[in-house]
Amino acid sequence: MQDATGQTIFLYDLVMFQTTGAHLDRGLAVRTLPGNKLIVVELVDGTEVAKKPCDLTVVDRFTMFPGTTVASASDRGGQAGVVTGVATALDLVRLDGGGDEPMVVATGVSPAEVRPVLELTLGDYVVSGTWLGRVVEVSVDVDVLFDDGSACRVTKAGDKQLRVVGKRILGNHDKKNAFCPGDRVAGDASVFNASRWLSGHWKPSRTEGTVAKVETGGVLVYWVASQNAAVSAPPPAYQPNPRSLTFFCAGDAILRFFWAVSDRCFFRREPSDDSCRAGGVKKKKRRQRAGRGRAKLPEFSVRGPMAVADTHTLVDVLWQDGTRQRGVPSASLVRTDVRNEQDLFPGQRVVGRTLAPADDAIGAAGRVGVVKSLNYKDQTACVSWNTAGESSEAVDTVMSTYDLTRSSDHRFFYGNMVVRLQPTVNEETAASVQGSNDLSWVGHIVDLCDAQYVHVKWGDGTTSKVLLHEIAIVKPRTIDEMIQEMGDWVHDDEVDNDASDDKALEDTIDSRTPDSEGGPVGGTTIIGKVGYIIQKVIRTLSGMLLAQGKMQMLSWSMALASRPEPAITEKIRTCSPRISDGGDCHVEEAAAVDEVFHFKHFDIVQSPQDHHYLDNKEQGCGGGRKWLKRVQTEWKILETSLPDTIYVRAFEDRMDLLRAVIVGANGTPYHDGLFFFDLQLPPSYPTTPPLVKYHSFGFRANPNLYPSGTVCLSLLNTFGGKGAELWSPEMSSVLQVVISIQGLVLTAQPYYNETGYEAQVGKPEGQRNEMPYSENTYLVNLNTMLHLIRRPLMGFEGFIRDHFHRHGQHILRACEAYQQEGCPVGTLDGEAVATEASKDRSCSVGFRLALAKVVPRLVEAFSGIGVQGRN
């Protein structure tokens, strides 16, 4: 939704609207109402109002910190930038709760001058001596003031001992604080009976009161880094006195703390002006009769916090082209995710990418370069190269971003937290430093200078230039990860359910696989061989299995029940003449190869030694008779239903294993490529889906195909999904898996396979990123070809050679069209000729430069298998 100026409104944007109150004319956009016609805005006093987007104007975006990647709000599809500095000013008010206009306390206050209601909150970084730690648990103590003037202290009040009644003083979005002075709270009588009474004594009738004070009772700290961990042991994890710790900063990129409108706070150091305390509300006093031996109850007051009424955020931005802007209003920027590998920023360390087996790209010999600038449209970067030990000046080179990758030895970025490493000292010296809460050794990277130095802003406010070996990066981690590593919260919930799983498996298969002998089993088909193998395997099983009854032939009725989803089938039909004769893809050559090379789409052979799951002995024995029946059914489906672009091999000696290869479809960055997958059917199959491993050769060909070989797909339970997207023991099959990979993963626009990115289709961010992602994917495709020609997978040696022998000229013609005519990737027809879609845009200069390096290797590799020329 867009505001009055046409700018998109994002969650937690500070928006302004017209109203009568000077400090009630703005608030946070916290959510949209059903129908997306109204936006709910939270005001400084915590109330919410619904407004039309056209009545709002975005005035501040405070959720930016050093290291945030941004784009111009007026050009969201343009170059990206990185935030290198943030300056935020807060306007603070007091609310009396009577509905009157908030009273201004201070304006232009630095966030460093205020704190939340609690001194320390979850995720805070703290320092003790030479150790930096992270608060992972907080114990809250609450002083409760009752209406009769008595008061008690409830320890660990956050453990569901107290509950807020009525309206909370805190804003609805404020999750940092459980309680706030002024809140009305209630609890069981037993809670107050067990509490320490500061005034008066416990009575059963005292079950509701007002929060007078909130303090941090104790914290649990995970110690993340030290100046010199070798000589000084970390402090205890539990810190009963939080005031002995020095606060460094709140949260990080994972759990970042921002000051927002309606947040409650106190000054870290109280100003001398008593006016800041004018909002304090004294307790209601009960008149007491003077009497002998009766002392007056001490007076308590409820000192309410201040509220953030407005934020003003200015940021410093370093753009990809190397230009810098300082003091940029945050409302003129939008946060953006930079996911393309080649989206680099000035100062980042890079090396030459080694894609092909014989790649001799610059950087392969240990050279590290520093990015000076990047042209995102051309996909080229100016890099200053340095060789280790080189004394001469660095040389700037303009090259393709596709030929670069970030240095694995220099994985730091703007905003990263660092600690200055202390030179080796003895234990006595370390002990003398331990008592100091100095912040001059912890800081954040604010600039990446050159190959040797970075600029760091330290906790004491100073900035210095340091060598890389003088600092260590503090790796961000989640609270749950740290608590789990500490040990006491690890629970072992593992239960051996093998027996019940096996029983469920048998029942499931029995309910849907009748033992009919009426199946059309022909002696000349592969399944005739399957029957022999099945009987051979069953004879080797235990007598218990054979005692279940005599062997019966299988029915093939499941072949109809296990067909792939209609949407996926329709998509595959466009490039599979075996399914449809009306496809418009170039498939004549594919049909010819079956006649010449005679490589069957499905066959049963001996298992290859390079199969990923070959050594998985626990799975290799299969899962019993019902499992064998299901495997035979799967083989039958594969024999009769595979499209022309998918080939599968089953293995006589390892019935649990399969190997599949998918031919990349025209109109995608995967065209003419081969993509291999190893599968294993576990003993629990089909209750659980098959295991699938992609042969990646270390490349990332798709958001769903990881370099590790992991295939991210709902059908395999490796990705979220619901309903028909998930594996169904009754309806799903191996055929559905391989067709889903081809139809849902190896797509024309793989960029949008990333979670949530489908929302960018047709938007500036998507248009900016989709083409570079496809270009990089095609380069990965070409280099995968080189690996396969050089080291073909076992059992497919002849197929790989023949495929590239037939498609080699076509591949080279496509490269020529991309390189010379500038056609975008995936817009060529089946003859590698430009189409109307090829005229819409041009591929990048960087892509053409990268092709110029890969094509000679392709020519050499294809020549080795008899492919001559490009025509």
Residue 807's pLDDT band (cuts 50, 70, 90) = very high
* Token reading at 348: 């980042």
Name residue, tokens 């202290």: 153
Six token digits for residue 593: 């190869």
- Given a cut of 60, whether residue 619 has pLDDT beyond it is no
pLDDT of residue 532: 45
DSSP state of 242: G
Give the residue with greater pLDDT, 215 vs 24. 215
Count CA within 13 A, CB hemisphere, residue 596.
12
**Residues with Cβ within 8 Å of residue 417, at least 6 apart in sequence:** 125, 249, 252, 442, 443, 444, 473, 474, 476
Q: Are 382 and 321 in contact (CB under 8 A)?
A: no
pLDDT digits (tens, 9 = 90+) for 405-415: 998 888 899 99
The answer, yes or no, to whether residue 502 has pLDDT greater than 80, is no
Amino acid (one-letter) located at 847: F
Helix (H) or strand (E) holding 602: strand 602-605
Catalytic residue among 712, 815, 823, 843: 712
Give dist(CA 703, CA 705) in Å, integer: 6
Note whether 177 and 120 are within 8 A (CB).
Answer: no
Catalytic annotation present for 54: no
Mind listing the pLDDT tens digit for each residue in 51-61? 999 999 999 99
What global pTM score does this model have? 0.79
Sheet containing 602-605, strands listed edge to edge, beginning at the edge strand earlier in sequence: 602-605, 646-651, 657-663, 674-680, 691-694
Q: How many CB atoms lie within 10 A of CB 502?
A: 17
The pLDDT of residue 272: 59
> Residue 580 — very low, low, confident or very high, per pLDDT cuts 50/70/90?
very low
Query: Looking at residues 663-687, what average pLDDT do you find?
Result: 96
**pLDDT digits 0-9 by tens, 226-241:** 988 676 788 999 999 9
pLDDT of residue 273: 53
If DSSP codes are grouped into helix, strand and coil, which group holds residue 316? strand
pLDDT tens per residue across span 365-407: 468 899 999 999 999 999 998 765 555 577 889 999 999 999 8
pLDDT in tens, 629-666: 999 999 999 999 999 999 999 999 999 999 999 999 99
Cis peptide before 686 (omega within 30 of 0): yes
Instruction: Write the pLDDT tens digit of every residue in 699-708.
Output: 999 999 999 9
E strand residue ranges, 150-207? 151-154, 163-165, 184-186, 196-199
Average pLDDT over residues 784-788: 97
Helices 797-816 and 764-790 pack at an angle, to 10 degrees, of: 140
Question: pLDDT tens digit string along 157-188?
Answer: 876 788 888 766 555 445 556 788 888 999 99
Element (H, E) at 784: helix 764-790
**What is the Cα–Cα distance from 728 to 689, expressed in whole angstroms?**
8
- Residue 678 has a CB neighbour count (10 Å cut-off) of 21
pLDDT at 593: 42
More confident residue, 271 or 135: 135
Q: Give the C-alpha separation, 654 to 675, whole Å.
A: 22
Phi, psi of 324 (to 5 degrees): -120, 145
